[in-house]
Amino acid sequence: MTLNEKIGQMTWTHVYGSSANDTSMAEQNQKRYGVDTPAQVVEKYNLGGVLYFAWSGNTNNPMQIAKLSNGLQETAMGESGDGVPLAITVDQEGGLVARIGPPATVLPGNMALGATFDPGLAHAQGEILGSELRAMGINVDFAPVLDLNSNPDNPVIGIRSMGEDPDVVSSLGVEQIKGMQQYVGAAAKHFPGHGDTSVDSHYGLPIVTYDRETLNKHLQPFQAAIDAGVDMVMTAHIIVEAIDPDMPGTLSHKVLTGLLREEMGFEGVITTDALDMAAMADEWTQQEIAVMAIQAGSDILLNSPDIEASFAGVRAAVASGEITEARLDESVRRILEWKVERGVFEKPLADPDEVAAVVGNSDHLATAKQISDRAATLLRNEEQTLPLAPGSSVLMVGAGSGWPELMGPMLADQGFAVTEEYENGSSPSEAYRARAVAAAEGVDAVVFTSNNATGNTAQQRMVEELTATGTPVIVVATRNPYDISVFPNADAVINSYGVKKVNFHGVVRAIAGEINPSGKLPVNVPRADGGGILLPLGFGLDYGTKATPADVVFTNRPGRGQDAYTIPAAEGVDYLIDGEIVDAGTYRKARSVSVTAVAEEGYYFDDATTSWSYTFTTGLPG
């Protein structure tokens, strides 16, 4: 390989367009790369990999993605077919960060998965991600996130994390990797741990100041991933003072070589996080970043905003002896070996016939719903507010950022009489709050979607004003799981860990009593004033013991005096007629009767028949 070809193998970046020869985004390609099409970008720089995004036109639908992947691979391999195939990559974590939407399977996300505490579901999630990406010609998923979300104020990780317990995150992370790597390469991120930052590295350079003992907890999931054979590790643009107080991990030899390679024994491929993030781009030039990242130990320069500058910087460093060509050879060899071992050389192209059969198939969708069912986490349930009685009237409101308009129709589908009041934005206006309060007066319950309400006083005020009406208020916390701390008067609080329909699936079923909530907090929830822990990791309520109502029996005989209905005796079940509890037994002389079953305190129903109605005939004996 020439020097430029070696630098190209180490350069993985995005391209604009929905097919290899698409010219519809030529303006963007020209501005960034000086050529018109995705294929021309690959050819110009001899790229080692490409990175797909929705905003760059790459992920419109599964079949289009497969054709784009195949077109780019054919470009990379050349007319003779003996060129080096591409790493085709994407950030498809599931949940909040997913570059490919429906009809691909939409997953509830990592923190929802963490709330299940179930390694089997983690493995299944990895299989879903890996198999669907492979069907679309993608061979690397920049996932899973192994950061411990130990800082409630973390602005960038949050529900992308599986939690803050290193044992749980290690177990779930390893199973995701094992499931994923049956099909594609996985990348554990963001090393050495981005979970305790209060600055988003997209916009600034975070610094973590904890000691080595604390760092070791953040390293534990990465060590577990390395021991399990993860293909890649992605670096974090953060300064970890316990290892290197001067340089961010991406540019630190102490972090990437000393810690990751030598101490932790990682022999796979190291990739930077995107080099266009402010934590990098605001501090150094792209020439400097490229050189320092390679010197630190990275094999891949990911998504540089100025590839020409990156190439120039590396060429100049080789010419001056600052970087040896042998050092580049180490990374290129590692990348090529990965492409061989991962089967990229053997099978570079997607099979279009697999797309429809694999992507978003019924089994995958069922697993996503199962994760949602298992994730719904009930944190408060005063006076058994939940589950709501069948047919209850409900006011559906919330912060616009909590997407209540998705949840309202789902509650209606459960048979609730739903009144909907919505407003865009994360901070409910005074006028919207007043409309909601007025509407709350005439319903059985209010459902409010919050979204990171710990930092939003307007959401806090709205819930407080709703609770003052005396109507029971159910808060569905749709983002980070800490909102309960600022809603002391809400009657019930349940966490969904996301705002997609699949996140609401389990929560709605729990509200309706179709499932018994079983999710547990994957993090500690601090008190609002910072004075200790409000709810500990692992906390979660349920509805109690499952009860199954026995059917009411109606006996219709000739002659009104012979008609009868029998109320059965069933553990945990009360039978009501006209709102009054009726004892078990046989009753006569009724013209018509309607009976409803309700769960006694400490019991719940799961997919049970709960109402019976019958009108007796009035004929004379024959």
What's the residue count for the chain?
Answer: 622
Cα 454 from Cα 481, distance rounded (Å): 10
Measured over the CA atoms of residue 255, residue 256, residue 262 and residue 266, the dihedral's sign is positive
Cα 441 from Cα 447, distance rounded (Å): 13
Catalytic residue among 202, 276, 351, 542: 202
Concerning whether 606 is annotated as a catalytic residue, the answer is no
Q: Are strands 445-450 and 393-398 parallel, antiparallel or unpaired?
A: parallel
Cα 151 from Cα 157, distance rounded (Å): 9
**Could you tell me the two tokens for 411?**
């509650």
Cα 50 from Cα 14, distance rounded (Å): 5
11: β partners:
301
Evaluate whether 286 touches 250 at the Cβ level (below 8 Å): no
Evaluate whether 300 touches 7 at the Cβ level (below 8 Å): no
Look-up of token digits 């932790």: 264
**Could you tell me the two tokens for 227?**
């021991």
Concerning whether 190 is annotated as a catalytic residue, the answer is no
Cα 359 from Cα 135, distance rounded (Å): 7
Catalytic residue among 22, 165, 196, 273: 273
Secondary structure (3-state) at 291? helix
Identity of the amino acid at 277 = M
Please, which residues have CB within 8 angstroms of residue 488's CB and are 6 or more apart in sequence?
none
Could you tell me which of 203, 206, 106 has the C-alpha nearest to residue 147? 206
> H helices of 186-227, where?
212-227
Evaluate whether 604 touches 386 at the Cβ level (below 8 Å): no
Catalytic residue positions, numbered: 202, 273
